[in-house]
């Protein structure tokens, strides 16, 4: 067993760390406060090759491995989990999905600009009445000549307002249930396609989350991903991959909680000494550090298995389940170590807790991860 990273992986990790510190950190508190989308930061991430990290150079991607992607995601999310999710959706759900299942036309037209970071993607599966039970799609698409006509509503869509290209799942044959669901690429600006207002969220406030509405939205036949009727299998396969992205985001938040709490404990004095010298604080930090390491190892294992061409469904679900729990525990303990200071914006740790919560919900709740793991057992 080899726990060493390659030179290239270390270089990518360092690049992500420096970028996060210099370009993302300075505006993170303000963007969180104002729920402001990081447009310029996303553009620069694209220039670095971080928006299409695992896409082959043939399709204008950076051609990096999954381990590098996880390392970069951790560094970015450690500084700003909102930027982390924008990057994760574009990389693991949208680009990976189009690279694996898109036709030549789709790859040429949509994947290339997405991988270059010139365009942004969104993944639209959830609906007002189809969240965890994703087979219950009410959005429909019917054929009219050489076009598909989409009608319906999607909910909780990350990058919902800012995206250019949307992967949309719709029911094309109700009789066939999940075998009658099809995935399409829908372009922003297509007549009848609109987004709702940005949700006013607890955390990851700098990313935008919206509903989408489709009113007789006409999409050409060549925008069908994979095949008619394969949309549900497509979404399930792609979400397996998305889950190590969200696990990386959670690891980033957990590491940030640990490092911020450790630093504070070495500065803050109580009862005549730095609070780090009190065993109560040491025990908390030791527990946090152990859990962060375990969470990171689970996530890297899932990434390593993907790179090795192995099946990683169970491992990705385990990583997401565990890392999101650890991130919650670490953010909570970081606030406790900070005492009253942990409860105000200036000290960052309250944001870690707010940002963390969603990692237990999106791309499959913790309860859904347990179902996936149990089925794989």
Enzyme catalytic residues: 363
Nearer to ligand CAA by Cβ, of 157 and 305: the residue is: 157
Q: How far is the CB of 201 from ligand CAA (least distance, A)?
A: 12
The residue from 147, 178, 218, 268 that contacts ligand CAA (CB under 6 A) is 178
For the chain, the maximum distance between any two Cα atoms, rounded to a whole number of angstroms, is 80
Q: Residue 226 CB, nearest distance to ligand CAA (Å)? A: 12
Cα–Cα distance for residue pair 70/121, rounded to 1 Å: 19
Tokens 């991959």 — which residue?
Answer: 241
Residue 127 per-residue DSSP state: B
| C-beta separation of 302 from 340 below 8 A | no
Q: Is 126 in the site for ligand CAA (CB under 6 A)?
A: yes
Residue 132 is a binding residue for ligand CAA (CB under 6 A): yes
Bridge partners of 148, per DSSP, are 143, 219
HSE-CB for 11 with a 13 A CA cutoff: 6
Pick 160 or 342: Cβ nearer ligand CAA: 160
Nearest-angstrom CA–CA distance, 290 and 370: 22
Question: Per rule CB under 6 A, is residue 172 in the interface with ligand CAA?
Answer: no
Site string for ligand CAA, 198-237 (x = CB under 6 A): ----------------------------------xx--xx
Stretch that binds ligand CAA, among 10-18, 55-63, 113-121, 364-372 (CB under 6 A): 364-372
Closest contact distance (angstroms) between CB of 100 and ligand CAA is 12
Separation between Cα atoms, residue 119 and residue 295, nearest integer Å: 32
C-beta closer to ligand CAA: residue 44 or 230: 230
* Contact between 297 and 251 (Cβ < 8 Å): no
Q: How many Cβ atoms from other residues are within 10 Å of residue 17's Cβ?
A: 17
**Which residues have CB under 8 Å from 124's CB, separation 6+?**
154, 157, 160, 166, 167, 168, 169, 212
Q: Which residues contact 64 (CB under 8 A, 6 or more apart)?
A: 8, 12, 49, 53, 54
Considering the rule CB under 6 A, would residue 364 count as an interface residue with ligand CAA?
yes
Query: CA dist 288 to 62, 88, 95, Å?
Result: 34, 25, 34
CB nearer to ligand CAA: pick between 15 and 365: 365
38: closest CA among 73, 2, 70, 76?
A: 76
Question: Using CB under 6 A, which of 67, 125, 181, 185 touches ligand CAA?
Answer: 125
Using the rule CB under 6 A, give the single segment among 13-21, 113-121, 123-131, 195-203 that binds ligand CAA: 123-131
Could you tell me which of 285, 287, 277 has the C-alpha nearest to residue 337? 285
Alpha helices, H only, the chain: 7-19, 25-34, 39-47, 66-79, 81-88, 96-101, 104-106, 112-115, 231-267, 279-307, 313-338, 349-356, 366-376
Among 90, 91, 158, 182, contact with ligand CAA (rule: CB under 6 A)? 158
Which of 27, 103, 135, 366 touches ligand CAA by CB under 6 A?
135
Shorter beta-carbon distance to ligand CAA: residue 209 or 257: 209
Hey, which residues between 233 and 272 contact ligand CAA (CB under 6 A)?
Answer: 233, 236-237, 239-240
In the complex, least distance from residue 327 CB atom to ligand CAA, rounded to whole angstroms: 15
Chain mean position to CA 14: 20
Closest to 182 in 3D by CA, of 158, 149, 146: 149
The contact pattern for ligand CAA, residues 293-332, with x = CB under 6 A and - = no contact, is --------------------x-------------------
**Cβ proximity to ligand CAA, 55 vs 181, nearer residue:** 181
- Residue closer to ligand CAA, measured from CB, 74 or 94: 94
Positions in the binding site for ligand CAA (CB under 6 A):
89, 123, 125-126, 132, 134-135, 157-158, 178, 232-233, 236-237, 239-240, 313, 362-364, 368, 371-372
């Amino acid at each position: 067993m080899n726990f060493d990273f390659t030179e290239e992986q270390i270089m990518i990790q360092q690049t992500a760390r420096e970028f996060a510190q210099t370009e993302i950190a300075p505006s993170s508190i303000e963007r969180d406060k104002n729920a402001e989308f990081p447009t310029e930061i996303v553009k620069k991430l694209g220039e670095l090759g971080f928006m299409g990290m695992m896409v082959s150079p043939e399709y204008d991607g950076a051609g990096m491995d999954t381990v590098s992607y996880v390392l970069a995601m951790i560094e970015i999310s450690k500084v700003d989990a909102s930027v982390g999710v924008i990057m994760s959706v574009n990389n693991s759900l949208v680009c990976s999905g189009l690279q694996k299942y898109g036709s030549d036309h789709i790859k040429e037209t949509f994947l290339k600009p997405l991988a270059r970071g010139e365009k942004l993607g969104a993944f639209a599966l959830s609906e007002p009445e189809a969240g965890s039970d994703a087979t219950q799609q009410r959005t429909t698409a019917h054929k009219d000549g050489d076009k598909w006509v989409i009608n319906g509503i999607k909910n909780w869509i990350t990058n919902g307002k800012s995206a250019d290209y949307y992967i949309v799942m719709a029911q094309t044959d109700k009789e066939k249930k999940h075998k009658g669901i099809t995935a399409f690429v829908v372009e922003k600006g297509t007549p009848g396609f609109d987004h709702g207002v940005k949700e006013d969220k607890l955390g990851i406030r700098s990313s935008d989350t919206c509903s989408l509405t489709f009113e007789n939205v006409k999409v050409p036949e060549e925008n069908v991903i994979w095949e008619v009727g394969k949309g549900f299998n497509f979404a399930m396969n792609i979400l397996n991959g998305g889950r190590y992205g969200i696990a990386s985001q959670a690891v980033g938040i957990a590491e940030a909680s640990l490092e911020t709490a450790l630093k504070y404990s070495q500065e803050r004095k109580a009862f005549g000494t730095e609070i780090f010298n009190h065993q109560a604080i040491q025990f908390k930090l030791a527990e946090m550090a152990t859990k962060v390491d375990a969470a990171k190892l689970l996530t890297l294992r899932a990434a390593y298995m993907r790179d090795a061409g192995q099946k990683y469904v169970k491992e990705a679900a385990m990583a997401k389940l565990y890392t999101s729990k650890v991130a919650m525990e670490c953010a909570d303990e970081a606030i406790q170590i900070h005492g009253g200071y942990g409860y105000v914006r200036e000290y960052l740790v309250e944001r870690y807790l707010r940002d963390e919560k969603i990692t237990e919900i999106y791309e499959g709740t913790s309860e859904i991860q347990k179902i996936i793991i149990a089925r794989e057992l």
